[in-house]
Amino acid sequence: MGHAPLEDSLWYATAAPAPATHPIDGQVQADVCVVGAGYTGLSTALHLAEKGVNVAVLEAQQAGFGGSGRNAGHCTPTFHYYSIPKVRQMLGETFGPRIIERQTNGTNIAFDIIRRYGIDCEGVQTGYVQPAHAPSMLKKLEAKCRTYQEVGKAARMLDRAETERLTGSPRYFGAWFHPEGGHLNPLGYSRGLARAAMSQGARIFTDSPVTAIKPEGSRWRVETPSGSVVADKVVCGTGAYTSDFWPGLRQTFTILTVACLATEPLSDNLRKSIAPENNTVVESRSDPAIYKFDKDGRLVTSVFVEGRRGGDPAHTKTMVEARLKWILPQLGDVTWQYYWYGDLDMQPRTIPRLYDLAPGVIASLGYSGRGVPTGTMMGTVLADWAMGVPAKDLALPLEPLKPVPFYMHVAPRALLPYYRFRDQRIARRDGVRPPPY
Ligand SMILES: Cc1cc2nc3c(=O)[nH]c(=O)nc-3n(C[C@H](O)[C@H](O)[C@H](O)COP(=O)(O)OP(=O)(O)OC[C@H]3O[C@@H](n4cnc5c(N)ncnc54)[C@H](O)[C@@H]3O)c2cc1C
């Protein structure tokens, strides 16, 4: 669907202002040049600047222009697609435990930064609820909950009554709850990260698209149309919005577009009847209903784009409204105030990858969702690399660039109808009426 205007999003209308920045003009020297001012780039810049490293960030548009400024704002400290044991198996006994430790602490890293720098981004760490849409899903959620308890988290199961109280929905059969989950205004968080990094001495140049990275003696020249940074090391955190500045980087992922919708502010009573403790809710369906509130009481939700869903805003609004009204019968008619969309960088492993582009040049992308904690957390890993931590001691292995397999260009979209079919089959098997859409 291409790049939607960031200006369409709720967050653009409500986020605290960005710090003053300008395009690069001429040549700048730095220890580390960071390409991209999303969570990945900005968290890297912040963690390096805190250690006294001279960092320059080059951003094609503005801080938070990519996924980081336009996502739904859920900050969930879990792996999106794989269980913890599966991640351990996939990454082995060296890297598995390290990335599990970082990812499961991703929200703590983010909220620690928010608190330390007083970032004005509606950030609340009130907990994540994943309710079961069918009784048989409870077993799966229990197993998942247990694996997070095993890594020291105070996760717990909720009974049906407590689930109804926290989600506002009589449709669910119980849930698992992770107290470290939270939510925020994603553009406000991006801008706050930029402000925090600048307060520690990082320089951020916006409207400065990188066109090439070339060797310059033993260093690297990172070029833009209005100037360049010459640095010892280069970190690329350009996510789904990666342009063609390094051969093969864009080919490592496929795009999955996600649409977000926000209602007008709801009454206090209605809001309290839906999320009295201001949690974030992501139900157990593979094509889930997802919701949370913003600071003004707007209900914010998101769906994967597939055909008319997402492509046709009127149809999308009707279908999302019907689904939410089924889940939340008290909701009544909905007036949508904001509708926007953005891209995810999907690759088959879904766990982030560290690409070893050349000696001194690295990239991290392919998050496939969950980027609020993941991008923030990967900033710590990239900062380790830039500080000289040997490859064998990093939280993820360094890998060569590898084009995304062809099936990934169709798989995420093609799988959605299958997931919906499976969700409905599970519900019917359990004697539960599935929601419309
Ligand atoms: C609609 C939507 C909803 C989502 N919901 C959630 C959610 O609720 N929770 C969650 O955890 N995750 C969510 N995600 C995922 C999350 O937003 C992303 O994974 C995360 O923002 C990725 O961060 P990043 O810093 O790696 O990349 P980005 O935020 O995409 O930043 C990359 C930056 O690089 C810049 N760039 C690209 N090329 C160049 C260049 N040549 N020169 C200079 N700069 C360049 C871009 O302009 C951009 O600003 C969602 C994503 C979308 C799109």
DSSP string across 23-46: ---EEEEEEEEEE--SHHHHHHHH
Q: How far is the CA of 240 from the centre of ligand 1 (A)?
A: 6
Cα separation of 223 and 26, whole Å?
10
In a domain, 305, yes or no: no
Lowest model confidence (mean pLDDT) among 151-155, 234-238, 412-416: 412-416
Please tell me whether residue 291 adopts helix, strand or coil conformation: strand
Is 421 a member of any domain? no
Long-range Cβ contacts of 325-330 (<8 Å, 24+ apart) = 326/171, 326/435, 326/436, 327/169, 327/171, 327/283, 327/289, 327/435, 328/168, 328/169, 328/274, 329/170, 330/168, 330/270, 330/273, 330/274
Q: What pLDDT, on a 0 to 100 scale, did the predictor assign at position 57? A: 99
Pocket test for ligand 1, best of 3, 75, 241 (most atoms within 8 A of CB): 241
State residue 20 phi and psi, 5-degree precision.
Answer: -70, 125
pTM, full prediction: 0.97
Q: In this structure, are residues 262 and 298 in contact, taking their beta carbons and an 8 Å threshold?
A: yes
Per-residue pLDDT, 307? 83
Tell me the β-bridge partners of 131. Answer: 175
State the total domains in the chain.
Answer: 1
Tell me the two tokens of residue 198: 């600048």
| Contact status, residue 138 vs residue 144, Cβ threshold 8 Å | no
Task: Take atom 32 of ligand 1 and give the residue whose Cα is closest.
Answer: 238
**Which H or E element spans position 215?**
strand 212-216
Per residue in 136-185, pLDDT (tens digit) is: 999 999 999 999 999 999 999 999 999 999 999 999 999 999 999 999 99
Measured distance CA(283)–CA(328) in Å, rounded: 13
Q: How far is the CA of 238 from the centre of ligand 1 (A)?
A: 7
For the chain, counts of helices (H) and of strands (E): 13, 19
Q: Whose CA is nearest to atom 50 of ligand 1?
A: 71
| Length of the chain, in residues | 437
Q: What's residue 145's pLDDT?
A: 98
Which atom in ligand 1 lies closest to the alpha carbon of residue 378?
26
Q: 131-166 as b/e, with b when 16 or more CB fall inside 10 Å?
A: bbbbbebbeebeebbebbeeeebebebbebeebbeb
Q: Which structural domain, as residue segments, surrounds residue 200? A: 1-126+183-264+335-404
Q: Say if 361 falls within a structural domain.
A: yes
137-150 and 84-104 helices cross at what angle (nearest 10)?
50
Structure confidence at residue 25 (pLDDT): 98
* The pLDDT of residue 38: 98
- Atom 20 of ligand 1, residue of closest alpha carbon: 371
Asked, for residue 52, whether it belongs to a domain, the answer is yes
Provide the 3-class DSSP secondary structure of residue 282. Answer: strand
Would 71 be classed as within a structural domain? Answer: yes
Helix axis angle for 371-386 and 84-104, nearest 10°, is 70
Give, using CA atoms, the residue closest to atom 4 of ligand 1: 71
Nearest-atom index, ligand 1, CA of 258? 1
Residue 387 in tokens: 């500080």
Ligand 1, closest atom to CA 257? 53
Q: Which two tokens stand for residue 427?
A: 């519900």
Structure tokens at 245: 């500045």
Over range 106-131, report the average pLDDT.
98
For ligand 1, residues with CB inside 6 Å are: 35-41, 58-61, 65-68, 70-74, 209-210, 237-243, 245, 258, 260, 302, 341-344, 365, 367, 369-373, 375
Please give the biggest Cα pair distance in the chain.
69
pLDDT average, residue stretch 41-66: 98
> Band of the pLDDT at 311, cuts 50, 70, 90?
confident
Q: Which tokens is 133 given?
A: 């849409």
Is the confidence at residue 412, as pLDDT, over 80? no
2 confidence band (pLDDT: 50, 70, 90): low
State which ligand 1 atom lies nearest to the alpha carbon of 68.
21
Residue 75 inside a domain? The answer is yes
**Phi (first) and psi of residue 143, to 5 degrees:** -60, -40
Task: Report if residue 76 sits inside a domain.
Answer: yes
From 59, 244, 341, mutation site for ligand 1 pocket: most ligand atoms within 8 A of C-beta: 59
Look up tokens 């938070």; give the residue: 64
Task: Output the average pLDDT for the chain.
Answer: 96
- Is residue 354 situated within a structural domain? yes
Output the domain CATH number for residue 90.
3.50.50.60
Do 188 and 119 contact (CB within 8 A), yes or no? yes
How many whole angstroms from 342 Cα to the centroid of ligand 1?
8
Q: What are the tokens at 234?
A: 């280069």
Tokens for 330?
A: 């008290």
Could you write out the DSSP letters of every residue in 371-418? HHHHHHHHHHHHHHHHTT--GGGSSS-EE---PPPGGGGTHHHHHHHH
Type of residue at 396:
L
CB count in 10 Å sphere of residue 404:
18
The answer, yes or no, to whether residue 315 has pLDDT greater than 90, is yes
Over residues 273-298, the mean pLDDT reads 97
